[in-house]
Structure 1
Amino acid sequence: MTEHRILIVSHGHPDQSKGGAEVAAYNLFKEYERQGLDTVFLARTDLPSHGGSAFSTVNSDREILFHTHMSDFFLFQSGCKKHVWQEFRALLQRYKPTVVHFHHYIHMGLELIREVRNTLPDTRIIMTLHEYLAICANNGQMVKPGKQMKLCYKSSPTDCGRCFPERSPADFFLREKYIKSIFNLVDMFVSPSQFLIDRYKAWGIPEEKMVVVENGQPEVQTLAPRPLVEGETRGRFAFFGQINPFKGVDVLLEAFKLLPEDARERVHLDIHGSNLEGQPEEFQEKIHRLLENLGDVVTLHGSYESHELGRLMEQTDWVIIPSVWWENSPMVIQETFNHGRPMIGSDIGGIVEKIIDGVNGYCFRSGSSNSLKQAILKACGENENWNLVTSDISKPLSIGECSRIHLSIY
């Protein structure tokens, strides 16, 4: 096998930002490191640097923080060009990676990709796509702006102009041309779901430049079933992740509010999530109002560390992912199955590639609190339902196998 020098670029370090993409990038880096491969992890941070330097290190000299930012979120352009053509270029010239694997470009700038191609013409450029930012200017969600959060099925300059009337269709046409000119420099795109590949294929990325590779998981012991008291059903539900309008936590709480009184006495929901305070005030008020109405049925725990996940899952029967946008491949699905717990999830996007209704969990109609209510009632109705779906849970792709697939792509 070719001896690679691998530079992994992420838009955040999981010590500071706990999104799925950051964790996926870091897990891959740590696995390469465990295998003794020559690899460096470059993660963007918004923390101030010491003495104005663009770079600092964390944990080891192989984990570098990039103190930079973007000034243009429409075109994903760097807010400090000097960081691109001087500091980042110097890093490339010093380390001379044979592979640069981008797990994101947001908060850093698309120019980094062109800088790699200009500075090291023979270096392989790989990009893992985690959402639809290049296609959709609405935070890459492919959801129409507004309270209805209507799903978008296909972008076009005209349609995007309707979503953002302050910009013309010509702006979106030129945006697409610019982003594609950068994407043309990428040798291979990796996606954790076929759904996302299909979206980018429809947008114009050649199918032969895209490959599905699931986010690898560390090997953990499958958890034993939660002990039950006599007559108890499996009614402990949990949500793990960011609390924002796209994640459907309001739909989840409304579903529990719709449960009959006798069912509410048999269930409990634990919400392990952060960033509620950073959401629009109207959304925050809605969530707090629902929490108040549900009383002891729901417990809001706040954020958690990755190493705490197993302990939290031990007291969980079902994990719910109620997203209202086209999720690609939420890390929580692989994490949940890795620990041997079944899931209840929205029937859209990459979610239905992972959660097979009636096999390893249940699906419900996205955005419908009534449909989710029915799934919850089914889940906690008979313990045999839990035993049935749990018996068909397969272990997700391991991080070791994931790394081997990536090395073959490199």
Structure 2
Amino acid sequence: MLPTVLNVSQNYFIRGGSDRYFFSLGELLEKWGHQVIPFAARQPENCETPWAHYFPEPINFTSPSARDLLRFVHSKPAADALSRLLGEHRPAIAHLHIYYGQLTTSILRPLKEAGIPIVQTLHEYRLVCPVSTLMSADGQLCQSCNGKDFWQAVAKRCNRGSLSRSLLSAAELYYSHALGGVIDKVDRFITVSHFQRRKLAELGIPAHKMVTVHNFVDVSNIPVNPGKGDYFLYFGRLERLKGIFTLIEAAAPLTEVPLLIVGDGEAREEVEATVARRGLSHIRVLGPKRGRELQQLIADSLCCVLPSEWYENCPMAVLEAYAHSRPQIGADIGGIPELIEDGTDGLLFAPGDSEHLRECLLAMARDRRRAMEMGLAGRQKIERYFSQNHHYEQIVGVYNDLMGAKVPVPR
């Protein structure tokens, strides 16, 4: 019998790429015969699950009370809820994702007391940065905290320019390191890019506790798409660190090829206002799209664009573009160049450089046959290196190493 996996995240709904991976991993493990037990906060947006009665009440981040602020650092309700679940069910291993905000490091103690090995997939830099991004409030890459001096985030007001928010974020991380066991209690960290693993090691996370496993995409129901698309496409969070304004500047004079912007986020109103003020009628902000509607938008595009200006790790947007045989233009930063081979399955440009990005957009628009060929090369890359089977084999290898077991892997 295959081991039961406890799959843990603060959300049981999809808000971003880490949530999509949380659900995709659960589906992948179930496909191979594992029982998967989800554990997350109880929130109105949650998908339905028979395990919801074990979920703890959520923390109110919109209008937090004093109790909510204390629970942001240490959530006794989350620990109690998990203890109740573990008292009635016995997973063989726990796989954590982004759990800090709603669940906190309070959940680590019941897992350790039950003798359950803990794996965590790291989707960002929360272990070494109070705001998770290694960026300061002014949008600049930042390592001032150096993995331990979190007071620097308070001095710089890194959390949205707010002193109180920055103080709370720093306090949470100090507590997590000193008393929460955020590093010591986790048996293995899975980084999703080699860049992320190297950066975290540079900032003090023990290298021997980390292993890289890139994300994956299921292409079994996605046909190879040799067609030539009609527009540039950005899909993802609308935030400054995603380079969305660099993209608008690059695309502004390219009026013959539309740019579709799909997503939501803190910068959406500013994006819409910028497009309207400049009269950029060829740039359309469509808002959030999901499921088949998003897949169709990707499939019909000329190419997808990821203009990030922070240390992206293994962005699902690149893999999803390749899955639909679309080439990707990406910023040469973080883990993005691990996914894009410049000139083969996409193009790389200097982050923040709108002129360089414009040259890449023009290259795609002027040679659509070449763009199609690069998209097909991306699809081949997905099938070879980022498939379900390959990912399952790597994940089970991590589980086996910690459990001393030999779970069979596909061949």
User: In the alignment, which residue of structure 2 is the partner of 1:251?
Assistant: 246
CA contact (8 A) 1:255 1:373 kept: yes
User: In the alignment, which residue of structure 1 is the partner of 2:405?
Assistant: none
What is the TM-score with the length of structure 2 in the denominator? Answer: 0.82
CA contact (8 A) 1:344 1:364 kept: yes
CA contact (8 A) 2:246 2:307 kept: yes
CA contact (8 A) 2:225 2:376 kept: no
Secondary structure of 1:274's counterpart equals coil
User: In the alignment, which residue of structure 2 is the partner of 1:269?
Assistant: 259
1:35 CA drift (Å): 2.1
1:309 CA drift (Å): 3.2
Identity of aligned residues (%): 24
User: In the alignment, which residue of structure 2 is the partner of 1:225?
Assistant: 226
What is the TM-score with the length of structure 1 in the denominator? Answer: 0.82
CA contact (8 A) 2:322 2:375 kept: no
How many Å separate the matches in 1 of 2:107 and 2:157?
A: 27
Partner amino acid, structure 2, of 1:202: E
How many Å separate the matches in 2 of 1:375 and 1:190?
A: 33
Output one character per residue of 1:325-378: Cα deviation in whole Å (capped at 9) or x when no partner. Answer: 111111111111111110011111111111122121111111222221121112
Q: 1:340/1:62 Cα in 2 relative to 1: closer, same or farther (>3 Å)?
A: farther
CA contact (8 A) 1:39 1:62 kept: no
CA contact (8 A) 2:59 2:72 kept: no
CA contact (8 A) 1:144 1:151 kept: yes
User: In the alignment, which residue of structure 1 is the partner of 2:282?
Assistant: 297
Secondary structure of 1:97's counterpart equals coil
Q: 1:328/1:64 Cα in 2 relative to 1: closer, same or farther (>3 Å)?
A: farther
1:46 is matched with which residue: 43, 46, 49?
43
Question: Equivalent residues in 2 for 1:10-409 (5 A)?
Answer: 10-14=9-13, 17-47=14-44, 58-61=48-51, 65-69=55-59, 77-78=73-74, 80-84=75-79, 86-106=80-100, 107-118=102-113, 120-121=114-115, 123-137=116-130, 139-146=131-138, 149-153=139-143, 155-156=145-146, 157=149, 159-160=152-153, 162-164=155-157, 174=174, 177-178=177-178, 181-219=181-219, 220-226=221-227, 236-257=231-252, 259=253, 263-265=254-256, 267-275=257-265, 279=266, 284-285=269-270, 287-393=272-378, 394-395=381-382, 396-409=385-398
Count residues in correspondence. 376
Secondary structure of 1:112's counterpart equals helix
1:400 CA drift (Å): 3.2
Q: 1:318/1:75 Cα in 2 relative to 1: closer, same or farther (>3 Å)?
A: farther
Secondary structure of 1:221's counterpart equals coil
How many Å separate the matches in 1 of 2:173 and 2:6?
A: 32
1:290 CA drift (Å): 2.4
Consecutive unaligned residues in structure 1, runs of 5 or more: 49-55, 228-233
CA contact (8 A) 2:189 2:211 kept: yes
Q: 1:244/1:357 Cα in 2 relative to 1: closer, same or farther (>3 Å)?
A: same
Q: 1:270/1:179 Cα in 2 relative to 1: closer, same or farther (>3 Å)?
A: farther
Q: 1:352/1:28 Cα in 2 relative to 1: closer, same or farther (>3 Å)?
A: same
Partner amino acid, structure 2, of 1:4: P
Output one character per residue of 1:101-136: Cα deviation in whole Å (capped at 9) or x when no partner. Answer: 001222211111122112x12x11000000011211
1:301 CA drift (Å): 1.4
How many Å separate the matches in 1 of 2:6 and 2:250?
A: 44
How many Å separate the matches in 2 of 1:42 and 1:199?
A: 29
Output one character per residue of 1:5-49: Cα deviation in whole Å (capped at 9) or x when no partner. Answer: 2100012123xx33111111111111222222122122324339x
Partner amino acid, structure 2, of 1:218: D
**Backbone CA RMSD of aligned residues:** 3.0
1:73 CA drift (Å): 7.7
How many Å separate the matches in 2 of 1:284 and 1:302?
A: 10
Q: 1:357/1:154 Cα in 2 relative to 1: closer, same or farther (>3 Å)?
A: farther
1:384 CA drift (Å): 4.1
User: In the alignment, which residue of structure 2 is the partner of 1:231?
Assistant: none
1:310 CA drift (Å): 2.7
How many Å separate the matches in 1 of 2:243 and 2:49?
A: 35
Output one character per residue of 1:125-165: Cα deviation in whole Å (capped at 9) or x when no partner. Answer: 0000000112112x21111212xx11124633275454249
Partner amino acid, structure 1, of 2:371: W
CA contact (8 A) 1:239 1:321 kept: yes
CA contact (8 A) 2:190 2:210 kept: yes
User: In the alignment, which residue of structure 1 is the partner of 2:407?
Assistant: none
Output one character per residue of 1:242-266: Cα deviation in whole Å (capped at 9) or x when no partner. Answer: 1122222121111112x2xxx422x
Partner amino acid, structure 2, of 1:264: T
Q: 1:242/1:66 Cα in 2 relative to 1: closer, same or farther (>3 Å)?
A: farther
Consecutive unaligned residues in structure 2, runs of 5 or more: 61-66, 400-411
Q: 1:101/1:244 Cα in 2 relative to 1: closer, same or farther (>3 Å)?
A: same
Q: Whose strand proportion is higher, 1 or 2?
A: 1
Partner amino acid, structure 2, of 1:239: Y
